[in-house]
């Protein structure tokens, strides 16, 4: 999430205060493992916090069944405003949404949609004049993916001139290894028609993020821009990625900072992902 003044690059927090001072702002209604409320995308607009997130049931019971957008006056206590189910997209599951407030004052929700019966993902866009209006907006596909690649989990920023997007891209050549991922960078004049610019971040062989990386948030600050990203070393760590820091290395590209991961949960198996 990016608002107003841009902070300096983050440093690892002291584990004790970082966790002891944390507040839970979302929790799934179902306490069973595999039930989640997460994948946040936050915006601060005119003093109001807006938070888009994903609701998930266990595998075999629907997985990502809805994306929700909620509002808050203090950034801690949120009230849902709109919920959009996976059936609106003809999707088998929904992943992390990306909530955007455009320079023109419109609202956009970029939704990651799983194609039924496949490992393929695409990204659809909802757009409306108000957050509530997203409920009745007509989806349009803006990142279709392909037979060779699944595209999901976009992060969007506007630099004052054009839009930038970073998306998780999964190769589909090996059906038993579709968890592999890189982050690819795209640009757009309008946030709808996108041109891919190349790989923004890839895993480091032999490191904690070797199997795959997914940019989770980006702070644009000229040549001091930085990102937080999810990484995993093996397929077994799918769903339990940890968070690393990456620094700008060219237009829209990043290099992983040494000494990662930057953040991880104190609760085994230490997964902490989708920071914003």
Domain presence at residue 275: no
CA-based nearest residue to 96, from 150, 139, 38: 38
Count of domains observed in the chain: 1
Domain presence at residue 16: no
Contact indicator for 131, 106 with CB cutoff of 8 Å: no
Q: Could you list the residue range(s) of the whole structural domain that residue 164 is in?
A: 28-200
Domain presence at residue 106: yes
CATH for 45: 2.115.10.20
141-189 confidence digits (pLDDT tens): 999 999 999 999 999 999 999 999 999 999 999 999 999 999 999 999 9
Domain presence at residue 186: yes
**Residue 218 phi, psi (nearest 5):** -135, 135
Cis bond upstream, residue 253 (ω within 30): no
pLDDT for res 26? 95
pLDDT for res 187? 98
Domain presence at residue 1: no
Domain presence at residue 239: no
From the centroid of its chain, how far is CA 62? 20
Domain presence at residue 237: no
Domain presence at residue 228: no
225-267 confidence digits (pLDDT tens): 999 999 999 999 999 999 999 999 988 999 999 999 999 998 8
In this structure, what token pair is assigned to residue 270? 């230490």
Residue 67, pLDDT > 70, answer yes
């Amino acid at each position: 999430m990016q608002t107003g003044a841009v902070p300096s690059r983050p440093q690892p927090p002291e584990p004790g205060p970082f966790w002891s001072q944390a507040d839970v702002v979302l929790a799934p209604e179902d306490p069973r493992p595999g039930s989640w409320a997460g994948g946040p995308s936050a915006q601060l607009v005119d003093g109001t916090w807006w938070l888009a997130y994903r609701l998930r049931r266990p595998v075999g019971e629907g997985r990502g069944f809805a994306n929700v957008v909620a509002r808050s006056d203090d950034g801690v206590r949120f009230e849902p405003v709109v919920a959009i189910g996976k059936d609106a997209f003809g999707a088998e599951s929904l992943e992390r949404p990306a909530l955007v407030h455009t320079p023109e004052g419109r609202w956009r929700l970029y939704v990651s949609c799983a194609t039924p019966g496949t490992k393929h993902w695409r990204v659809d866009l909802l757009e409306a004049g108000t957050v509530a209006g997203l409920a009745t907006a007509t989806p349009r596909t803006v990142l279709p993916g392909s037979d060779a690649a699944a595209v999901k989990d976009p992060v969007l920023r506007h630099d004052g001139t054009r839009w930038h997007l970073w998306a998780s891209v999964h190769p589909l050549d090996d059906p038993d290894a579709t968890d592999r991922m890189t982050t690819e960078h795209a640009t757009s004049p309008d946030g709808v028609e996108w041109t891919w610019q190349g790989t923004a971040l890839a895993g480091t062989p032999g490191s904690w993020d070797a199997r795959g990386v997914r940019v989770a948030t980006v702070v644009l600050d000229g040549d001091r821009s930085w990102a937080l990203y999810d990484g995993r070393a093996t397929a077994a760590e799918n769903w339990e990625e940890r968070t690393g820091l990456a620094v700008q290395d060219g237009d829209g590209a990043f290099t992983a900072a040494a000494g990662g991961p930057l953040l991880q949960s104190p609760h085994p198996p230490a997964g902490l992902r989708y920071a914003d």
